[in-house]
């Protein structure tokens, strides 16, 4: 990655009283410049992505269609009258836009706060360009404060939890949550994420784990952070 840090827009809002939603919206709207007519666009999940979906609905760009990373996103896209496509029918896609729970200076991410991490990683991996949109509070020197979401087949829940403890983590079952794939989420604190690539692999090697929220193998290509001074773009 070439680290270009620049403000991409004249600040719309000034001062310290901007709330996180205004910053998320700013980042989401900045991602529109990457969307061209005729594209298939992958769409993530979460409150920041919801601002992106609203912006897509308003912008009416003549794209070929959208690939949703969750049932929630599919429903929101349809509610905007936007055409949802099956990833099995699109082949690889030019662009994917999604939020994150944490992002490090190498564009590696923790995702899955909304529980959609597995489909998100699939769509991100099928995309040539992954644009991550977030408020600037997600910009971290290193990953690991946010509890790491791990999607687990229910049958393996206790076994996987014990293996996560052996890796140094403290897993907690996310109560009342079933993923779009019919699985449960363990949120894991205390892991050493100084080598995110290795930890992503070690967790995914546990039988019963579907995927985990470390996006190090498929990190973002572009970061758009909404800040009180405007949108910070890194790529
Ligand atoms: C969902 C995700 C989200 O992108 C992440 O949790 C950030 O969410 P938000 O935009 O609501 O802050 O990974 O699985």
Which atom from ligand 1 is nearest to the alpha carbon of 46?
11
Mutate to test the pocket of ligand 1, among 45, 117, 223 (most ligand atoms within 8 A of CB): 45
Q: From residue 4, how far is each of 28, 74, 143, 200 by CA, in Å?
A: 19, 33, 21, 27
Average pLDDT value for residue range 168-172: 98
Determine how β-strand 209-212 pairs with β-strand 65-68: unpaired
Token pair 């992954």 is found at: 130
Which atom from ligand 1 is nearest to the alpha carbon of 49?
10
Question: What DSSP string runs through 116-143?
Answer: -HHHHHHHHHHEEEEEEEEEGGGB-SSS
Q: What is the pLDDT of residue 39?
A: 98
Q: Write down the pTM of the prediction.
A: 0.94
Confidence of residue 190 (pLDDT cuts 50, 70, 90): very high
CB burial of 142-154 (b: ≥16 within 10 Å; e: otherwise) equals ebbebbbbbbbbe
Decide: 111 in ligand 1 pocket, CB within 6 A. Answer: yes
Which range has the worst mean pLDDT, 2-6, 57-61, 94-98, 129-133?
2-6
| pLDDT tens by residue, 222-232 | 999 999 999 99
Q: What ipTM does the predicted assembly reach?
A: 0.98
What's the DSSP call for residue 35? -
Residue with the smallest CA separation from ligand 1 atom 10 is: 48
């Amino acid at each position: 990655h070439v680290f270009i840090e620049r403000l991409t827009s004249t600040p719309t809002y000034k001062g310290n009283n901007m709330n996180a939603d205004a910053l998320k919206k700013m980042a989401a709207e900045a991602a529109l410049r990457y969307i061209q007519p005729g594209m298939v666009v992958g769409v993530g999940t979460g409150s920041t992505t919801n601002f992106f979906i609203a912006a897509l609905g308003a912008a009416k760009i003549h794209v070929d269609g959208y690939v949703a990373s969750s049932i929630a996103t599919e429903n929101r896209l349809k509610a905007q009258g936007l055409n949802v496509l099956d990833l099995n029918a699109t082949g690889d896609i030019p662009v994917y836009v999604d939020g994150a729970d944490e992002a490090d200076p190498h564009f590696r991410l923790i995702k899955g706060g909304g529980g959609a991490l597995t489909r998100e990683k699939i769509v991100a991996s099928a995309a040539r360009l992954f644009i991550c949109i977030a408020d600037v509070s997600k910009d971290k020197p290193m990953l690991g404060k946010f509890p790491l979401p791990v999607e687990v087949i229910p049958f393996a829940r206790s076994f996987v939890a014990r293996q996560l403890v052996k890796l140094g983590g403290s897993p907690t079952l996310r109560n009342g949550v079933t993923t779009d794939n019919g699985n449960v989420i363990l949120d894991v604190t205390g892991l050493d994420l100084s080598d995110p690539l290795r930890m992503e692999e070690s967790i995914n090697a546990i039988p019963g784990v579907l995927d985990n929220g470390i996006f190090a193998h498929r990190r973002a290509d572009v970061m758009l952070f909404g800040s009180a001074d405007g949108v910070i773009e890194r790529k």
